[in-house]
Structure 1
Amino acid sequence: MKSESTSDEIRGEQSTDSNMQQVERDVDDNVTAEVREQCEEEDAPSSSEDEEEEGEDDQDDDVQVSVGSGMVLKSFAVAVFATMVSFVQLNGGISNFIDAWSTGTLSTNNKTRKSYSSANELFALTPDAGTRMVLPRKRTSNMDFCLVAELDGTDGNCIPQPESSSNLEYMNFNIKAPLMDFVTSSYDLEYFPYEDDDASAQKTRRYKKGRALVYKDPPVGSYYVHRKDESTNYDEAVEPSFTGFAGKFINLSPKPVLFFWDGNEPILMDRILPYEAVGTSTFPGHQFFFTPEYDRQTAVARFFITADTKVMVYDPKPDLETLSAEHREKYLAQLANLDYAREYLVITKRQWLAMFPRPPPKHFMWNADYFFQEHSVETRETHFLKMPSQAELARIQSFEGEYGRANPSEPRPLSIHRERGTRKMTLRTISCSPRVFEIDHFLSDVEVEHILSRATSLKRSTTVGDNDFSDEFDAVDDTRTSKNTWLNRHDSPIIDAIYRRAADLMRIDEVSLRFSRHGDEFYSAAESLQLVHYNVGQEYTPHHDFTYPSMESGYQAARFATLLLYLNDDMAGGETVFPKAVNAQTHSGLQVKPEKGKAVLFYNMLPDGNFDDLSQHAGYPVKEGQKWLANLWVWDPFMDAE
């Protein structure tokens, strides 16, 4: 069925034909009219029979816009566009380009684009033969995602399903063709054409099918291998008494907005740049609003939070004709993200909190198939049993020589003060959703003493990161009332050994947890170790460790895992709680009592790359004594240079 084309058929809402025509006019002159002809409208294919009825209304929309081929995100795809133009000029037309692109043999100026066969080849966040981290090519190069002709699982072009999670499965989805064209050109995704179509038919579909790996929660009954209480219905999860969740707020306006919580008095939370997103922990009944920067008294959007409204979008329906090329690109990218999010929600029953396209985590993830499941890891980074001298504990000057990559045939540094041989670490599953593990005796008493000796210059903890607007509001509030300081990996050989042991525990190469220099920039998959102190009455209310990366983040980097290290247990209170942990027995979630030397590992991401809302956690108030702990945050794939 055909109808007049409008820009809001990309949005799914209203606009004008002139906006769409403007997008076509803005396609670079180097791209021939052949591109436009290959983006004409046609009835949308259904991603699956089950989803056909779900998408019926959406697919009545008509889209006749040529974007994508000539529109590239500033941060990612200038090179992709230049390659396409060069190829068209040298090899006689866009059809040849499509053929070469789809077969992985694209060549320009006698250079051949390699055809990759595995995720690791494409997105290798692995150290090289030396001591520096190798950067991945692009954020989507590891994506277990492809556009395919036949969605029956037999297509050989898709990257095989990872073995790290038995609950990853392929989701078939549709995205409007112009948006998908934009995504594939901007993010360097390969398009595998429909096998039953000729070259022209491949580019005339209104919707394009895709397939992405998604994580589906297993039934709660599978978490209980050993069922001791016959009166408990282990096959039905109980509702948590805690009703909070992660709220994501997206600004689709071409102008920055101020983000307020509408409490007893409005509280300024953040400033949101055009087409960016921020987040906060929230509850049903909360209210928020956006205002222009120049007028804090006039709300341009208000949001009333319910249990079903976790992603809030302010879309003033900007006229595409008036947007700059950069803003138009970002706007279309967010629309594609929202298209994908709708289908993800239908399939997984979970909100999509990340930014499409986002690959599954590069780093290894431990399975949490059932309660009390155990995993064992052997490490050569054994405990320090005696305190080295001050001279021996001097700051590490270089990660080369004895502090370079460990040689299995040589003893570890300061081995005279350490356990001999190797050490076995056991991860015990205490929550399956979110994935939480406890590791007893991760630290020795000597190592705890050494960390606490570094507790100088403690400052009041904050709940926001660095941004250019943080000086306009009070970043210190009652959410987090502790004090903290930071310890760098190279501060001492003991801190370095803890990082290496943590890397072994998480099955990540320890070189990735260093700062590696690449040109004028430094990268690492790990932050400095945060040392935190709580006095009586101090706490950290429920929060998430992940944040929402900027659209300009080339790899959509975010906190992937958190390793908590408890440094004392002579206090009352101070438990770590996961109030939304899924189970069939209690409404209060999971509580972890601090024990000196114990570690707790949990993941902030799901195996499909989405953020895990269930990873929300809190530090209960200290009732007596004081509480000391350390946090190690590991990012996927690594922290952006900024």
Structure 2
Amino acid sequence: MNHQSHDIITESSSSWEDLDPDEFLNHNKTDDGIDKNDKNDDDDEDDVNENDDENDENEEEDNESLTSWTQEFMEHWKQHAFAVLVAIVATVAAHSYKKSPSPAVPVPYSSSSSSSAPTLHLYDDAHEHLHEYTRTANITFCDPFDSSKDSSSSSSSSSSSLKVMEFHISNEFLPALHAHYAADVWQDVNYSRVLTFLEQLPSHLQIKSSSTRGLTHYYIDPSIETLYPYYNPTAEAKMSANGLETKPLRAAHLTFTGFGVKFFNLSPKPVLLYWDGREERKVVGEIAPFESLGTATTPGQSFSMTPVYDADQVVGRWVVTADDVTLYFEPMNDDQIQQLTQQERLLYQMQKLNQEFAKHYLIHSRRAWLSQFPRAFPLHPMWETSYIHQKHVYRDEGRDYHIRVESVLPKVLTIPDFLSDHECEALIQLALHEGLRASTVVAGSQRTMMRDVSTRSSDNTWLERGNNATSLTDAIYRRAARLLRLDERLFQKPVDDEVPAHRHSIAESLQVVRYRAGEEYTAHHDFVYPSQQLWYQPTRFATLLLYLNDDFEGGHTVFPRAVTRDLHDGVRIRPKKGTAVLFYSMLPDGNMDDRSQHASEPVQLGEKFIANLWVWEPLIN
């Protein structure tokens, strides 16, 4: 491994990553570098001093005997200590993350195969998949590739859809990077220990270069040619020569212009985010200090921020465009930043670190970074979606299930006959028995539930696998886990009535939804924007949508931003009883998939029943 240092350090430091908080507070080194823990407790003070004198004399003799090349080596090590330290920690974490064991799961097989899928491995610990987790797993500061290769070349250890990218971090934000590595070492799920022992993080390093260079991977959108591998340009040319109508192989222009936008509050005070319509003004949600909030919108929409105590005092206003979807409220000058508490300053630097990475990510991938840096790659597997109408077959419960890729950008798949007619009807009756209530949407960084009929007009109820579990709901959870190739015990391990089942799960309770005539759910995303202080960065990874009936008109599921050759309105899926739709809200590089935006079109006649099962990565918040 060739290490290239981009920082010159004039003062070395000890390896703070190996220390726990108690060791931070009780520094166990003397001024001359002797470890007090190595001294014999039975020795008296005179013996210790005598040993110290002898050690000092021996050390002086050793120093005098050093050759010139050894002295040069030691000086070189001091200059590069920080870069080597960060590289070792990051690389070891990434290596252990990539080598972490995965559960035995059903795998795709040829339809001609007679072998059955392997059984699922049941862990004793429901969160076994998190034992090797680190938030910084997919970044490194030590170049593992040939320096002669371009940074966009693909890594042999990565998926062909991922390529290497280089990014730079201003050294003024290195304390934020230190905090993330400390959180990895301590497994600090909400950064409370990091913020408590903030003064013990290294701060005395003097780095002469202006930035630190790092490497990670980003997801590459496949070309339109990749989506249609069966396209034959020669045959198309012959058809055109014979006067037959042909279509060039290029992505269709989409009529839908919506996108996701993310607002950042870089101030020590909470604020309210408003959508400013022509005739009304709506609260999108509250944004906590140094946190963010996202929503779906369209070009030209206006948003504003106000203090939580005065909705009339506008402190920030934006008119959004698709070219700039990460917007920052940053009211502080340099003097005000210096007046922040140490904890506030670190949270501010963490957001600035994310902002710097987002700029490099946008340049390489040509898409906005909607996640929070650093972000680990998804732990859960994804079905291959290389081209449109690609097919997979997997065997479960003694039968073959057929999967078809409906879209690659975003990743959308359908599974016919996932539920039987009897299961669909029984699930509807179970939901009606539980009672349906008005559907809500999530608002604000505090994830407040609110009713908004202009966005979502329907009724729903929730069915848990654990509490009041029936053989029906249990069977659906098991089947869904095998479809997603995950340990079924992660899908709501049954517990007693006093402990909510979702606390032991990566899957939410099953939501059954009813749409009456005229009701709909406008274009939205299923992923959530986690707080930067959450080590696991939990968000929705995939959605399994189940059609429970089809005796109605309208109500298609549409992915209006899906990239195809000839569908200007995106991909529309007609509901069919028993069919499942699986789509992913995340990209393989850990970013949110903005193209996963989807909608339920208005029901024209009758009632539409569906069920949603949301699976989180790497666990539910």
- The residue correspondences of 1:107-126 to structure 2 (distance < 5 A) are 117-120=95-98
Counterpart for residue 510 of structure 2: 529
Per-residue CA shift, 1:537-591, capped at 9, x if unaligned? 0000000001100122221100000000000111110000000001121211000
- The residue correspondences of 1:42-441 to structure 2 (distance < 5 A) are 89=29, 101=85, 117-120=95-98, 129-130=123-124, 132-134=126-128, 136=130, 140-141=134-135, 143-149=137-143, 152=146, 165-188=159-182, 204-227=208-231, 230=236, 232-233=246-247, 235-263=249-277, 264-317=279-332, 319-380=336-397, 422-441=398-417
CA contact (8 A) 1:580 1:614 kept: yes
Query: Relative to 1, partners in 2 of residues 1:430 and 1:604: Cα closer, same or farther, differing over 3 Å?
Result: same
- The residue correspondences of 1:630-641 to structure 2 (distance < 5 A) are 630-640=611-621
Letter of the 1:269 partner, please give it: V
- Secondary structure class of the residue paired with 1:187: helix
Counterpart for residue 605 of structure 1: 586
- The CA distance in 2 between the partners of 1:103 and 1:542, in whole Å, is 42
- Larger radius of gyration between Structure 1 and Structure 2: 2
Q: CA deviation at 1:428?
A: 0.4
Q: CA deviation at 1:467?
A: 7.2
- The CA distance in 2 between the partners of 1:220 and 1:326, in whole Å, is 47
Letter of the 2:286 partner, please give it: R
Letter of the 1:215 partner, please give it: Y
Counterpart for residue 446 of structure 1: 422
2:561 matched to 1:580? yes
Please give the TM-score of this superposition, normalised by the length of structure 1.
Answer: 0.72
Counterpart for residue 31 of structure 1: none
Query: Relative to 1, partners in 2 of residues 1:367 and 1:485: Cα closer, same or farther, differing over 3 Å?
Result: same
Q: CA deviation at 1:524?
A: 1.4
Query: Relative to 1, partners in 2 of residues 1:178 and 1:235: Cα closer, same or farther, differing over 3 Å?
Result: farther
- The CA distance in 2 between the partners of 1:202 and 1:233, in whole Å, is 61
Query: Relative to 1, partners in 2 of residues 1:233 and 1:144: Cα closer, same or farther, differing over 3 Å?
Result: farther
- Secondary structure class of the residue paired with 1:494: helix
- The CA distance in 2 between the partners of 1:104 and 1:289, in whole Å, is 44
Query: Relative to 1, partners in 2 of residues 1:145 and 1:99: Cα closer, same or farther, differing over 3 Å?
Result: closer
Query: Relative to 1, partners in 2 of residues 1:303 and 1:189: Cα closer, same or farther, differing over 3 Å?
Result: same
Counterpart for residue 505 of structure 1: 483
Per-residue CA shift, 1:493-539, capped at 9, x if unaligned? 2211111111111111111212488xx99331100000000000000
- The CA distance in 1 between the partners of 2:424 and 2:360, in whole Å, is 48
- Percent sequence identity is 37
CA contact (8 A) 1:122 1:136 kept: no
- Secondary structure class of the residue paired with 1:454: helix
Query: Relative to 1, partners in 2 of residues 1:316 and 1:102: Cα closer, same or farther, differing over 3 Å?
Result: closer
CA contact (8 A) 2:293 2:444 kept: no
Counterpart for residue 549 of structure 2: 568
CA contact (8 A) 1:164 1:367 kept: no
Counterpart for residue 453 of structure 2: 477
Query: Relative to 1, partners in 2 of residues 1:443 and 1:436: Cα closer, same or farther, differing over 3 Å?
Result: same
Per-residue CA shift, 1:445-499, capped at 9, x if unaligned? 121122112123100101116976848xx53332000100001113212211111
- The CA distance in 1 between the partners of 2:132 and 2:306, in whole Å, is 35
CA contact (8 A) 1:485 1:531 kept: yes
Q: Which range moved further: 499-508 or 309-318? A: 309-318
Q: CA deviation at 1:269?
A: 1.6
Counterpart for residue 46 of structure 2: none
Letter of the 2:266 partner, please give it: L
- The CA distance in 2 between the partners of 1:268 and 1:627, in whole Å, is 30
Query: Relative to 1, partners in 2 of residues 1:560 and 1:495: Cα closer, same or farther, differing over 3 Å?
Result: same
Q: CA deviation at 1:341?
A: 0.2
Letter of the 2:307 partner, please give it: P
Query: Relative to 1, partners in 2 of residues 1:325 and 1:105: Cα closer, same or farther, differing over 3 Å?
Result: closer
Aligned residues: 512
Query: Relative to 1, partners in 2 of residues 1:451 and 1:524: Cα closer, same or farther, differing over 3 Å?
Result: same
- The CA distance in 2 between the partners of 1:35 and 1:89, in whole Å, is 22
Letter of the 1:322 partner, please give it: Q
Q: CA deviation at 1:308?
A: 1.0
Q: CA deviation at 1:83?
A: 5.9
CA-based RMSD: 3.8
- The CA distance in 1 between the partners of 2:476 and 2:184, in whole Å, is 41
- The CA distance in 2 between the partners of 1:164 and 1:114, in whole Å, is 17
Letter of the 1:464 partner, please give it: V
- The CA distance in 2 between the partners of 1:114 and 1:351, in whole Å, is 29
- The CA distance in 2 between the partners of 1:480 and 1:281, in whole Å, is 13
Unaligned runs of 5+ in 1: 1-33, 40-67, 71-76, 107-112, 192-199, 381-421
CA contact (8 A) 1:285 1:306 kept: yes
CA contact (8 A) 2:538 2:617 kept: yes
- Secondary structure class of the residue paired with 2:168: strand
- Secondary structure class of the residue paired with 1:336: helix
Letter of the 2:471 partner, please give it: P
- The CA distance in 1 between the partners of 2:551 and 2:261, in whole Å, is 36
Letter of the 1:493 partner, please give it: S
Counterpart for residue 442 of structure 2: 464
- The CA distance in 1 between the partners of 2:294 and 2:288, in whole Å, is 13
Letter of the 1:172 partner, please give it: E
Query: Relative to 1, partners in 2 of residues 1:92 and 1:577: Cα closer, same or farther, differing over 3 Å?
Result: farther
- The CA distance in 1 between the partners of 2:393 and 2:124, in whole Å, is 28
Unaligned runs of 5+ in 2: 1-7, 36-76, 105-120, 186-203, 237-244
CA contact (8 A) 2:542 2:586 kept: yes
CA contact (8 A) 1:141 1:188 kept: no
CA contact (8 A) 1:440 1:597 kept: yes
Letter of the 2:339 partner, please give it: T
Letter of the 1:252 partner, please give it: L
Counterpart for residue 559 of structure 1: 540
